[in-house]
Amino acid sequence: MILLPITSPQTVQAAEEPELNASAAMAFDEKTGQIIYSKDPDKKVAIGSITKIITLYLVTKAIHEGNLKWTDTLTPTAEQAEMTQRDELTNVRLDADKSYTVKQLYSAAWIVSSNSAAMMLAQKVGGDQKQFVKLMRQTIKDWGINDAEINNVSGLNNDDLYEGMYLGTKTSENKLSVNDIAIIVKHILDEYPEVLQTTSQAKLDFPVDNETKTYNSLNLLLKDQRDYQEGYEFDGLKTGTTKQAGESFVGTLPMDNTRIVTIVMGVAGEESDNDKRFRSAQNLAHYVKENFIHQKIMTPGDKVNNKYKPEQDVYMWVPSDFDLSTLKYGVSKNDLGFKATANKKTANLVVTNSPSGYIPYTKTKKKIKIKKVIVKENLWDQIVNFFSNLFK
């Protein structure tokens, strides 16, 4: 570690806490993993449809690995179709006698949080939903998340699901901490940033009967949505609602040449207030923009510990009144940090006394490919499918 003077500090009044009404929350820089604000980040809470970030990460991975194509067509089971007819679970309608492309289902799962669409995609990738849940568990365990509770692919309570759609008991519910969610979000945005092309869409066009029906995104912070604010251009990511924990939201937006992620879990308020989680996310984004500076702290001409030279300019978020001359640096123990070179050897360095630290990222392990699953139908399934296809 070293002591590296940068500039003279500015002095302003300490920032007031953002008004969030959330049981747990965080704002962090997606590129560096630097935490700018956090509240109870280790507290494990119900996550609802935020679950779908993991599900759709694995679906996106399967597409990249060639095990799934956007043009592949899938047909819902009778149970999956029936669930879209139930008022408390429905958004887009799916019919058991119709097929839908992977692209249509993928968009529906992201934009309007279709539970059955997520189930159909997971079933195709994993062979069945239980096997896919095991894949979800193994994936986040590989990312250093060891105490998660993941029991189904959609985020619904298990008691809303049919047999074969979940692991655990009927009362089980998916739970993660804010730290866990931050790790998951960084993985999907680092590896597959193109997901933002889908999550930024304020409308979904989806086939219903013999026409195309348009649905509004559940993310009310997107442009042209009612909670949008100019200058705060949210382009993702996922809502979550549970009976136990209420309303939550994982948001992301570009800010000062980087990307900020906001997480607000279990936002309290009137049940009829459909904007409370988005208002809290917006308050958190305002808090970052109004009280922190995305400051250049090093250039390629600087030396760290009279040894390492950064490969490019280095930035971090600091409070306006933070004394930059007190910053200390050390070799990163994980994949976070900025690259610096010494004697033709490269290392990742981090600020060891960052005001709020970094998300608990771990060393990237060897990537495991998703194997293409071929599900063998029993004789009865073959007979049913034969007659179903005959009369389509």
**The two structure tokens encoding residue 258:** 């980087």
Residue 237: cis peptide before it, omega within 30 degrees of 0: yes
Q: Assign 372 a pLDDT band (cuts: 50, 70, 90).
A: low
371, part of any domain: no
Residue positions annotated with a catalytic role: 49, 52, 113
- Residues 381-388 have a mean pLDDT of 48
- Provide the residue count of the chain: 392
Among residues 106, 103, 56, 88, the alpha carbon closest in space to that of 250 is found at: 56
347, part of any domain: no
190, part of any domain: yes
Backbone dihedral angles phi then psi of residue 111, each to the nearest 5 degrees: -80, -45
Q: Assign 384 a pLDDT band (cuts: 50, 70, 90).
A: very low
pLDDT at 374 exceeding the cut of 50: no
pLDDT at 365: 66
**The two structure tokens encoding residue 39:** 């509240």
**The two structure tokens encoding residue 185:** 């979000």
pLDDT at 27: 98
Listed as own residue / partner, the contacts of 383-391 with beta carbons closer than 8 Å and 24 or more positions apart are 388/97
Domains of the chain: total: 1
329, part of any domain: no
270, part of any domain: yes
Distance CA 192, CA 338 (A): 21
Instruction: Give the H or E element holding residue 129.
Output: helix 129-142
pLDDT at 14 exceeding the cut of 80: no
- In terms of C-beta density within 10 A (0-12 exposed, 13-18 middle, 19 or more buried), how is residue 362 classed? middle
376 is in an annotated binding site: no
HSE-up (13 A, CA, CB side) for residue 97: 6
Among residues 97, 89, 7, 25, the alpha carbon closest in space to that of 288 is found at: 25
Q: Which three-class secondary structure state does DSSP give residue 344?
A: coil
**The two structure tokens encoding residue 267:** 């936002």
389, part of any domain: no
- Give the contacts of 291 (CB within 8 A, at least 6 positions apart): 15, 319, 320
Q: Rounded mean pLDDT of the chain? A: 90
Q: Assign 330 a pLDDT band (cuts: 50, 70, 90).
A: very high
Among residues 256, 249, 252, the alpha carbon closest in space to that of 280 is found at: 249
Q: Which three-class secondary structure state does DSSP give residue 113?
A: coil
Question: pTM of this prediction?
Answer: 0.90
User: Bigger pLDDT: 235 or 365?
Assistant: 235
The CATH code of the domain that includes 268 is: 3.40.710.10
**Contact between residue 177 and residue 24 where contact means Cβ atoms under 8 Å apart:** yes
Q: What is the DSSP letter of 364?
A: P
12, part of any domain: no
43, part of any domain: yes
Domain enclosing residue 265, as ranges: 24-292
